[in-house]
Amino acid sequence: MKSIKGILFIILIMSSSALLWYFATPIEPIQTVNRLSHVIGGMAITGFFLVFLLATRMKIFERWFHGLENVYFYHKYIAIFSLVLVIIHGQLQGIVPRSDKVERTSFSELAKELGSLGQYGFIALILIALLAKFLKYEHWRIFHRLLLIPYAFGIYHAYFSSRYDLLQPTPLGIFTAITMTIGFMSALYMLTMYQDMFFKYNGKITGIKKLGSDVIELELTLDKKISYRHGQFIFIKILQDGIEKAPHPFSISGGDGKKVFISIKALGDYTKKVYDAVQLNTPVVLDGPYGHLNFENGTQQQVWIAGGIGITPFLSYLQSQPVDRDIELFYTYHGQGNAIYKEFLQDYAQTNEQFSVNFIDTSQSDRLSFENFSVPPQTSIFMCGPEKMLKHFKKQLKSCNKDISVDFEAFKFK
Ligand SMILES: Cc1cc2nc3c(=O)[nH]c(=O)nc-3n(C[C@H](O)[C@H](O)[C@H](O)COP(=O)(O)OP(=O)(O)OC[C@H]3O[C@@H](n4cnc5c(N)ncnc54)[C@H](O)[C@@H]3O)c2cc1C
């Protein structure tokens, strides 16, 4: 399991939270149902700490979870899990006997109100987040950032309506202070500083090439060199009036670090706008590199599979050096208009004995399939393209080749 370190980290934090709440001493003795409600509420607030922490795109998490898309996967499911805990906590509080509840003060009354508001806020915002595919990405992001508000309410609620004195330097008090501070700062950082601090590479667009009817290749010249591995991607902001300022991820398709190429397929609002309107000399800023594909770490025998625009990470490698291992590329696309860089790949295969390429045009032939496709043991398989296709191929390949390693980059954060 490639995300093992990340999963262990989550288990460690969540179980520490559960144990610390369970074994902590309340201000006055409380009934079991109330204790359980506190454990669950405490775990929920710890879960949200993890949600915000994972959203910071810290490199260490990318390594621990084997890729940013996996970090986002756990970010999403911890949020859902924490929301379920919040709801259970609320329900359990409803059955706690009156005599067991915290004494009424203006702080505790407000904390109770904020707890309820926080709960509704989490429910609404997480439901909206799950409807991502029906929303414009920019709108989705705005709603997503509002999660900080119910989290702040939750923190106040935890401190002022719990039956435990969290302000004391007990193990639970220290754990809560640390996690809540980091969680809150992480959310605040993503909201305010990320946009300025993390875009360390400035540059401008020095070349524009249209490849077919909907793919555009941009040459970016940077003020300072970015070091990256072939197969990695960056987040870019194109600072041109009329083009959305939000960062978008694109794989590096070539260059030497000072010059970087990206190839963009016009699929939605942003990419279509870039395709139609982007101009030479427009300033850009980059954050990155990110991504776990590592062809150099693969074995001598490699199979590459690219779907459509998913050819970009492979181009980065091929354009930089002659291959020093045996690579067979399967490149599938729909219609010749989508077969970008076909000539380059054909020429490359002719001049490099160790490289061969199969073109699969699904408008002319059957879909690519790896049913009963066996490869020599120890082959490394790298894939890039639509997530559904990649998962399907992975299943087919693994079913008849037990010892192979399959690694892929889907152009989607879950
Ligand atoms: C790791 C990675 C590498 C990629 N590399 C390439 C590449 O080399 N070439 C290429 O053409 N495309 C690449 N993409 C896809 C590209 O980022 C999206 O097509 C583009 O952001 C869509 O924006 P849109 O507004 O045009 O489309 P929309 O229709 O608005 O978005 C389509 C989908 O793209 C995703 N998306 C949209 N905006 C963002 C954003 N700001 N950040 C993250 N995801 C977003 C969302 O899942 C959304 O549902 C890559 C994506 C990822 C995750």
Percentage of residues in the chain having pLDDT higher than 90: 54
What domain range includes position 387? 295-410
Is 90 exceeded by the pLDDT of residue 35? yes
Residue 16 or residue 368, greater confidence: 16
Q: How much distance in Å is there from the Cα of 71 to the middle of ligand 1?
A: 17
Is 266 found in the same domain as 286?
A: yes
**pLDDT tens per residue, range 204-221:** 999 999 987 799 999 999
Mean pLDDT of the chain: 89
Last residue of a domain, one of 290, 313, 343: 290
**Chosen domain end from 171, 196, 221:** 196
Q: Which of 302, 281, 289 is nearest to 397 (CA)?
A: 302
Both 29 and 160 in one domain: the answer is: yes
Pocket of ligand 1 (CB under 6 A): 133, 137, 233, 246-251, 263-265, 267-271, 309, 312, 409, 411-413
Residues 168 and 89 in one domain: yes
Determine contact, residues 263/340, Cβ cutoff 8 Å: yes
pTM for the structure as a whole: 0.83
* Predicted confidence (pLDDT) per residue in 286-304, tens digit: 998 998 888 888 899 999 9
Same domain, 190 and 119: yes
pLDDT of residue 262: 95
Q: What is the pLDDT of residue 11?
A: 97
pLDDT at 327 over 80: yes
Query: Using CA atoms, how far apart are residues 42 and 52, in angstroms rounded to an integer?
Result: 16
Percent of the chain with pLDDT over 70: 98
- Predicted confidence at residue 101, as pLDDT, reads 66
Mutate to test the pocket of ligand 1, among 411, 412, 413, 414 (most ligand atoms within 8 A of CB): 411
For ligand 1, mutation pick of 211, 267, 316 (most atoms within 8 Å of CB): 267
CATH code, domain carrying 286: 2.40.30.10
pLDDT of residue 177: 96
Angstrom distance (rounded) from CA 332 to CA 368: 7
pLDDT tens for 230-266 read: 999 999 999 999 998 888 999 999 999 999 999 999 9
Q: What is the C-alpha radius of gyration for the chain, rounded to an integer number of angstroms? A: 25
Residues 186 and 265 in one domain: no
Find out whether 372 and 358 touch, Cβ atoms under 8 Å.
Answer: no
Regarding whether 253 and 302 lie in a shared domain, the answer is: no
Residue where a domain stops, chosen among 196, 227, 249? 196
Q: Does residue 177 share a domain with residue 67? A: yes
Q: What is the CATH number of the domain that holds 314?
A: 3.40.50.80
Q: What is the pLDDT of residue 400?
A: 85
| Domain co-membership, 167 together with 307 | no
> Are 406 and 379 in contact, with CB atoms under 8 Å apart?
no
What digits encode the pLDDT tens for the residues 136-175? 777 777 788 888 899 999 999 999 888 899 999 999 999 9
pLDDT tens per residue, range 221-231: 999 999 999 99
Domain match, 33 and 65 both: yes
Banded pLDDT at 399 (limits 50, 70, 90): confident
